[in-house]
Amino acid sequence: MTQLRFDPACYDSQLADKAARLQALLAPFAAPAAEVFDSPREHYRLRAEFRLWREDGQRHYAMFEPGDKHKAILIDDFPIASRRINELMPQLKAAWQASEVLSFKLFQVEFLTTLAGDALITLAYHRPLDGAWQAAAEQLAAQLGVSLVGRSKGKRIVIGRDFVEEELVVAGRSFRYRQPEGAFTQPNGAVCQKMLGWAYEALGQRDDDLLELYCGNGNFTLPLATRVRRVLATEISKTSVNAALANIADNGIDNIELVRLSAEELTQALNEVRPFRRLADIDLKSYQFGSVFVDPPRAGMDPDTCELTRRFERILYISCNPETLAANIAQLADTHRIERCALFDQFPYTHHMEAGVLLVRR
């Protein structure tokens, strides 16, 4: 498969190709035409990571072609990244060029921003960080108006906060999210907001309960909780669980119970294969689950978890890998049909696709 290039003039044809690919993948299941949600053509990516490359006595932002870690592509700006990242890049570069304390053995820079305008920068070093570095970093954070994290082997220094704050609007209601440094967040905020709106509409207003697997920081959990009686959500990452708990509290939503279990472990609990201490205070039998929401990793759902979802009247599935989505649907096709499907272009100018399907019992 050829590598796509950044070219806004070709965006519409690239998106049409993706829609055709998704339709072909879902055609064996008699899927309806996909709803297509496009991306901004530029400045859509809210996070970016750069290695630093030393040339002519100076460190420069650099990226590499896939599979080639030796030929650096030096970068001064990055048009797919948010405007905030592009504003910060030259200011940060000027700061490390002017300060040996900041630049010495600095090898990687990460930016995390939000649609709401918040920003956090992570600086990674091949050396211990000392008091002189912290003093310089505190001055830099104040100068740039950002939070800043310094990382070296076995050490992490936080100046300001170790998260950014996002605000997304779904069906006219604003939801606030803490997005921690180092944890997964949706990279394309504008498309993420469209994904949330589609999932909210596809689920509909329900008078029963929702099970959510792989809930992350509660990205989908918060708006979907307003559509059902109660939500039981699971996530295995401790950082994401802590962020989700903070987000639930910050938004004043009181019908969500969150448990730190993997999807596989929850499947075992619901099948009464084994008990889990983390579920000791949760009465699983009190739930009246009508729907399950899943947003699994690229590998999709494992066979046992996929089989578990068969029990539900509605399966709302967000996928970052339509090939494994199709494999999961094949396992469910004898009991569920696709009622709605959608393409979300989170990653323009690449072959990656995000898809959503609503499966309902036949």
Per-residue pLDDT of the chain (362 residues; tens, 9 = 90+): 455 688 999 999 999 999 999 999 999 999 999 999 999 999 999 999 999 999 888 899 999 877 777 788 899 999 999 999 999 999 999 999 999 999 999 999 999 999 999 999 999 999 999 999 999 999 999 999 999 999 999 999 999 999 999 999 999 999 999 999 988 889 999 999 999 999 999 999 999 999 999 999 999 999 999 999 999 999 999 999 999 999 999 999 999 999 999 888 988 888 888 888 889 889 988 999 999 999 999 999 999 999 999 999 999 999 999 999 999 999 999 999 999 999 999 999 999 999 999 999 99
Was 214 annotated as part of a binding site? yes
- Do the two domains 8-41+187-361 and 47-164 of this chain adopt the same fold? no
- How would DSSP label each residue in 225-278? HTTSS-EEEE---HHHHHHHHHHHHHTT--SEEEE---HHHHHHHHTTSS--GG
Taking the domains of the chain in order of start, what are their residue ranges? 8-41+187-361, 47-164
Residue ranges of E strands in 71-144 = 72-75, 106-113, 119-125
Was 207 annotated as part of a binding site? no
As a whole number of angstroms, the distance between CA 174 and CA 326 comes to 33
**Residue 231: beta bridge partners?**
210, 256
Q: Are strands 231-234 and 256-259 parallel, antiparallel or unpaired?
A: parallel
Contacts of 318 (CB under 8 A, 6+ apart): 195, 199, 220, 293, 294, 295, 354, 355, 356
Contacts of 6 (CB under 8 A, 6+ apart): 79, 80, 349
pLDDT value of residue 3? 58
Was 219 annotated as part of a binding site? yes
Was 235 annotated as part of a binding site? yes
Catalytic residue among 192, 215, 306, 320: 320
pLDDT value of residue 55? 87
Q: Does the active-site annotation cover 320?
A: yes
Class of domain 47-164: mainly beta
pLDDT value of residue 290? 97
Was 110 annotated as part of a binding site? no
As a whole number of angstroms, the distance between CA 107 and CA 48 comes to 15
Q: Does the active-site annotation cover 257?
A: no
Helix axes 83-97, 131-144, angle to 10 degrees: 140
Q: Which residue has the tokens 């099970």?
A: 211
pTM score, two decimals? 0.93
pLDDT value of residue 275? 84
Catalytic residue among 166, 181, 212, 354: 354
CATH code of the domain made up of 8-41+187-361: 3.40.50.150
